[in-house]
Structure 1
Amino acid sequence: MQIDMHYYGTYAMARAAGIRRDAAAIIATAAQFTDDNASKDSIEFRDGGRLDAEATAHHAIDRKNIDAEDQRKIWVPFHFLPGNQGNFLTEKLVCRKDSDIAKQMVRFNLSLADQPYALPLMGITAHVYADTFAHYGFSGISSRRNKIHGNSFKFDDIDPEMEKYIRGKEKKFEENYPDEGGFLPNIKSWFAEKFSGALGHGAALTFPDRPYLKWSFEYEEPEKGSGLRDNPATYLEGCEALHKLFRDFATARQDCAETAFAEFSDIKGEVEKILNLQAPKKDRIKAWQDASTTGNLFATGPEKIPLYRKHNWHNQRENLVREKDSSKTRELSVYNFYQAAAVYRTYVLRVLLPSKGLVVT
């Protein structure tokens, strides 16, 4: 999913479910920051304390900067939560929408609702849970099971101009990375999704992340069709799942909740309309904003969704370099995010997945 869903859609679902504005803003920021937080650097404080960053996103652009452990420690837990179906490890690591593992992850994270890092943890939870409704059928490791016949994409019920725009994106990818669609050894690749057709949904470009697409393709190994991937319908399921997550959190943390909330059935039509909008990302963001200010998304009345400010949390971290007192980091949202990311990663990789027989790291 992209920022229109991970931030604006997440904020909308949190507010509709009765989460207070300030809490919803932290949750939504954490959900999108999960995609923007690639730093692994540590900060040494003058009093001897140290803060280790918890990277939740792939190292960007330059292949030489990509850590070989990114697949196991970032892609698998934060973006392609395994569905645990099939006979072989590479099958079991394939993400499945709303899987039993995903539901167990949600329950565990909700059990930590009383912790100081609960709000960013709910954002991370929302990101990972939502991604299961977009990334299903692909895994966070380099695997032949992620490979797609490049000429097999088909789009249903799409505006001709929008298809032209999408085909242009596909062509640009092939021109920029002509050699990156080839075979890569299972699990051992050092390439990020952007550079590889064998890692994540790299071979499918951003098609899984576009809410309005109805599409299909052919996997290379094993040879099989994907069936129709109805993104609008699947994303609608995802929005309903997020709404329920936030209702459960509101019940557990009434200090973060309003007295009024909207049932998902009350806003389903409005959400469905947004998801079906065939438009570039900036216009999809505008659709969420318009619905929040003129529609009936929130029981408390119309309001503007605050703009996403990823640099706020990046700047918080950078400003710590000049800090003498390491204990002051506890007051910062970005530190709570790092706490939440560490707890989440440890639980998924060391407890949840091994309990299902999946030992990734």
Structure 2
Amino acid sequence: MQIDFHHGVTYVVARLAGFDHDSANIVAYSAQYVDDAINTGLIRFDNGALFSRISSAHKMLDYRNFKELANHYVWVPFHFLPGNGGLPADQDPPGTFIEKLICRPNSYVAQDMVRECINQRHHPYGIYRLGVTMHVYADTWAHQGFAGISHRVNEATCLIDQQGQPDHKLGNRLKNFFIGEALPLGHGTVLSNPDKPFLRWGYTNGRGEKIVRDNPSDFLAAADCMCQAMQRYRLGNPEAMVPGLQEFDKRRIAELFETIRDEKGEVRHQRWLAAIADGIFSFGPATVTYTSKGKGSWKYEALKTESEVDRDHEVFPYSPAFLTSHWKLVHDALQAHRFHIVHELLPKYRICIA
């Protein structure tokens, strides 16, 4: 999924789950920031203080950079959560280990991830972790059938469009995109097809199976399950019976998935923000913005830097306010999320990835 869903739709769903404007802003910003946290390493301050942060994405999500992107610490915990074949923790899917790594929508693994996020809501970074979790949770629908490692299971051929006809346009783009004999990583072989809310398409996967995808239906299911997860978060009860999206707003979201058909995620994002400002949802009009780097961003507020990529050994001005800044707390959330996924949750499913 792209910024239109991870920020725009996440804000809408957070409001519909009962969060106020400011809290929904934090959830939505944190969700999108997963795709924008491209720097890793130490932050050095002029008073000698240090802060260690991690990256949850790589610049431009460049699927061609296989050596850099075949990184279990980024792709698996943040973008292609292993689905264990859609089975609970005490069962293994038939086949080899790769079957456990393939992403599955709303898998038991994903539900356990959400449950842990709710149980840990008392931390200062709790609501930021909710945003991170919602990013990963939503991607289990968009990235289903693909794995976050370089493997032939991710191969896709015989691409078809909405009419079931060969998608020559995408095929021609792919000819110029991949080089050499590198194995495909994630859904790189179908570029951004899984991330576009309006698209209906298909392909033949690495096993020779014909796959038909209906993104509008999948994305709507993701939004509804996210609403339920956030309603449970507000209640502090991961097992609570909650309604999810109400029919009025569900229809509005479904309509925008179908009618906002711009190819670029940034353009679709602006149209979602315009719809929110117009007050088409039951929570009324709201002004929502997102800036990943530079003035107006969380990073600028915390570090007073406008740089997209930090220079080695750069020294930043320290303020006591840094400890409670949005940027520091979202990075705390990223670290807590990754540690839990890699070292606690996946081993429960007999999955060791790092």
- The question of a shared fold, defined as TM-score above 0.5 by the shorter chain, is answered with yes
- Higher deviation after alignment, 285-294 or 263-272: 285-294
User: Quick one: which of 147, 153, 159 aligns to 2:159?
Assistant: 153
Any residues of structure 2 matched to 1:1-361 within 5 Å, and which?
1-60=1-60, 71-85=71-85, 86=93, 87-149=95-157, 152-157=158-163, 168=169, 171-175=172-176, 177-180=177-180, 182-184=181-183, 198-220=184-206, 222-226=207-211, 228-252=212-236, 263-277=245-259, 278-280=261-263, 281-299=265-283, 301-304=284-287, 306-311=288-293, 312-316=297-301, 318-319=303-304, 321-324=315-318, 327-361=320-354
Q: What are structure 1's unaligned runs of at least 5 residues?
A: 185-197, 254-260
Amino acid at match of 2:198: Y
The structure-2 alpha-carbon separation of the partners of 1:354 and 1:178, relative to structure 1 and needing over 3 Å to count, comes to: closer
Q: What are structure 2's unaligned runs of at least 5 residues?
A: 86-92, 238-242, 306-314
Amino acid at match of 1:137: G
Q: TM-score, normalised by structure 1?
A: 0.82
* Separation of aligned partners in 1, 2:300 and 2:66: 23
Amino acid at match of 1:353: L
Structure with bigger helix share is 1
Give yes or no for contact 2:58–2:69 (8 Å, CA) kept in 1: no
Q: After superposition, what is the alpha-carbon deviation per residue over 1:201-260, rounded to whole angstroms, capped at 9, x for unaligned?
A: 00011000011111111123x22212x11110010000101111221222239xxxxxxx
Greater relative CO (CA pairs within 8 A, separation 6+): 1
Give yes or no for contact 1:59–1:67 (8 Å, CA) kept in 2: no
Q: TM-score, normalised by structure 2?
A: 0.84
Structure 1 residue 329, shift from structure 2 partner = 2.3
Q: After superposition, what is the alpha-carbon deviation per residue over 1:276-301, rounded to whole angstroms, capped at 9, x for unaligned?
A: 123333553344234324454233x2
SS of 2:147's equivalent?
coil
Structure 1 residue 313, shift from structure 2 partner = 2.6
Q: After superposition, what is the alpha-carbon deviation per residue over 1:149-175, rounded to whole angstroms, capped at 9, x for unaligned?
A: 2xx1111259x9xx9xx8656534432
Give yes or no for contact 1:95–1:132 (8 Å, CA) kept in 2: yes
Q: After superposition, what is the alpha-carbon deviation per residue over 1:26-79, rounded to whole angstroms, capped at 9, x for unaligned?
A: 111111110011101311223332111211102457899876585210100000
Give yes or no for contact 2:203–2:210 (8 Å, CA) kept in 1: yes
| Count of residues paired in the alignment | 327
* Separation of aligned partners in 1, 2:336 and 2:282: 31
SS of 1:137's equivalent?
coil
Q: After superposition, what is the alpha-carbon deviation per residue over 1:297-356, rounded to whole angstroms, capped at 9, x for unaligned?
A: 233x2223x12111213324543833245x542121111011111111000000000011
1:194 aligns with none
SS of 1:217's equivalent?
strand
Structure 1 residue 116, shift from structure 2 partner = 0.7
Amino acid at match of 1:219: N
Over 4 Å off, 4+ runs: 59-70, 166-170
Report % sequence identity. Answer: 29
The structure-2 alpha-carbon separation of the partners of 1:65 and 1:155, relative to structure 1 and needing over 3 Å to count, comes to: closer
Amino acid at match of 1:111: N
Give yes or no for contact 1:58–1:66 (8 Å, CA) kept in 2: no
Amino acid at match of 2:111: K
